[in-house]
Structure 1
């Protein structure tokens, strides 16, 4: 595959968006939609995931969202279904919902749960401009933007959390039977930075937090600074939450398949992002937080994107064990 191909450009921009080169991808033009291929492809019926539906929502702030919902086919328990909220829903709702549909049974020891993906209009897996705004709290943009790229707008993180808590959750709870005591927030990469921001600023917003591979040094180490305030406050006010935090082997070293022409640049950015090394250090500090049950995973053989299906399989028994038992 040549460097100029749409797929190679997409893979590169996705990887850069997950590490210190995120701003380059965010400021770049939106990715073009792929061609349909065969002449009769447009006439084919789309593949539909059973037990799912889509809800269009516009927030009070005037932002449009695609809300993807999976509901188990079984009757809800008396307390309602546990629920998992997934940011970057265009990318991660389908694998989460599909594994829930397959694994929620007595043999797996996993309770059926509702899955809610919070996505954006269009079929692009990652809407870089929207996620930069939604996932980062109100602060100046400190990262340098490469020449020729428009700086992304950031600072909507708390507004996005209010949308989830005050608009989305009540709407979902009106439509479906939900156990409010068993709610999980799932985020990956910049979405994990958002999940950490929620945990560190309002730990009671969810009972479980599952996230993977944030660049902790992005934009002036703001996540690390928030973690220090959280840890200090927890010494006098214990939290009550569960955290599953994962990183991938190739978050911090070059994967074997990386093209030689990208290797030098990628190596520098991976070192700067320090996803694994900084993640280990943060985990050590979080393990000491009273009331926070923390599990840290280093997923070997996987890269920044391929780790997510593995993490989904690991998380479901943890957050959906019957009667809350791990």
Structure 2
């Protein structure tokens, strides 16, 4: 399959803004942005999915050293278009620290659409599990719900097409594979845990959209815990995080949205009850499933739906880097 390299460079100007030269600045001062961070290399593999009926991109970052004898630990991430660059930078930084303790940073594999092919409607279809009926509220944009229920087909593609491709191309540790997702992707992480608990070795769900067909989300976790055939040799690591401010308007909402839009958006956030739903699911797992699931649950202070993601990315990297004791 064709492979291309893409380099992502972060300049001082992109982080802090450009300081314009003037007569008050000494001649030896730089007149252009200075490169502040090392360049990270992202490998792009284009893979045709027969199950999805379209080409997909697998965006890969790997540590710049030989793989350990057992291969690299791996984090697989949904929403590759918006996750790969941050994940690559965080993993590179964590790798420098981990080297002191002889720990390797994980490889990052992000599933992404082809350039220009990403759409919210496609994402809604791919990241929602099938159900006979859907219990959904009116959207804040007042548009009709798009087609739903393609999540299990998407997971089939991940398991039978994407993961085997990566395993054939890279030295990976098949016993240290983590699935990461945010929002609808976070909900899909928990759906994967509930329906395919052996698919990955650890699961990280950031701000999971548990409001989506809420009874189904909770019932499938209850069924997993109660299933006598689900008897892992050691509890499966599951990290769930949510921003403490996710049920409120952000400062940008209040500054930029017209008042009627603010009302609809706030109503939507209150109905979705992101924090309460996450707490309720965490309490269920802690009460009934602690022998099978090693839960790490956090409500992130002063954090909203968007800022919870990068915080949890770094935590996921640390978790993936840390070896687990043999049972």
Tell me which structure has the larger Cα radius of gyration: 2
- 2-structure distance, mates of 1:221, 1:108: 46
Counterpart of 1:205 in 2: which secondary structure? coil
Matching of residues 102-117 of structure 1 within 5 Å:
102-105=93-96, 106=98, 110-117=103-110
What is the alpha-carbon distance in structure 1 between the residues aligned to residue 240 and residue 115 of structure 2?
Answer: 29
The residue aligned with 1:167 is: 161
**2:74 is the alignment partner of 1:75:** no
C-alpha spacing 1:220/1:281, structure 2 compared with 1 (3 Å): closer
Matches within 5 A, 1:34-183: 50-61=40-51, 62-105=53-96, 106=98, 110-122=103-115, 127-139=119-131, 140-143=133-136, 149-183=143-177
User: How far has the Cα of 1:96 moved from its partner?
Assistant: 0.8
RMSD: 2.4
- SS of the equivalent of 2:281 reads helix
Task: Write out per-residue CA displacement over residues 223-271 of structure 1, whole angstroms, 9 at most, x where no aligned residue.
Answer: 122122122225x633441101000012122334432624322221111
User: Could you tell me whether the CA contact under 8 Å between 1:217 and 1:224 is conserved in 2?
Assistant: no
The gaps in structure 1 that reach 5 residues or longer are 1-46
- State the distance in 2 between where 1:58 and 1:246 align: 33
Provide the C-alpha distance between the structure 2 equivalents of 1:280 and 1:264, rounded to a whole number of angstroms. Answer: 25
Change over 3 Å in CA distance of 1:212–1:302 after alignment to 2: same
Structure 1: how far apart are the matches of 2:127 and 2:250?
27
What CA distance in whole angstroms lies between the structure 2 residues aligned with 1:145 and 1:282?
24
User: In structure 2, the residue corresponding to 1:56 is in which secondary structure?
Assistant: strand
1:237 is aligned to 2:230: yes
More helix per residue: 1
Query: Following TM superposition, by how much is the alpha carbon of 1:160 offset from its aligned partner in structure 2, in angstroms?
Result: 1.1
Contact 2:130 2:150 in 1 (8 A): yes
Q: Distance in 1 between matches of 2:247 and 2:226?
A: 29
Asked if the contact 1:216–1:222 (Cα under 8 Å) also holds between the matched residues in 2, the reply is no
Distance in 2 of aligned mates of 1:54 and 1:79: 24
The answer on whether the counterparts of 1:76 and 1:177 sit within 8 Å (CA) in structure 2 is yes
Map 1:291-310 → 2, pairs under 5 A: 291-310=292-311
- CA offset digits 1:2-59 (Å, max 9, x no partner): xxxxxxxxxxxxxxxxxxxxxxxxxxxxxxxxxxxxxxxxxxxxx9953321111221
1:93, distance to aligned residue in structure 2 (A) = 1.4
Moved over 4 A (4+): 107-110, 144-148
User: Are the structure 2 counterparts of residues 281 and 220 from structure 1 closer, same or farther at C-alpha, using a change threshold of 3 Å?
Assistant: closer
2:266 aligned partner? 267
In 2: Cα distance, 1:87 partner to 1:75 partner: 26
Counting matched residue pairs gives 276
* Matching residue of 1:252: 247
| TM-score, normalisation: structure 1 | 0.78
Question: How many Å separate the matches in 2 of 1:134 and 1:86?
Answer: 14
* Counterparts in 2 of 1:228 and 1:291: CA distance versus 1, 3 Å: closer
CA contact (8 A) 1:87 1:191 kept: yes
- Give the aligned partner of residue 27 of structure 1: none
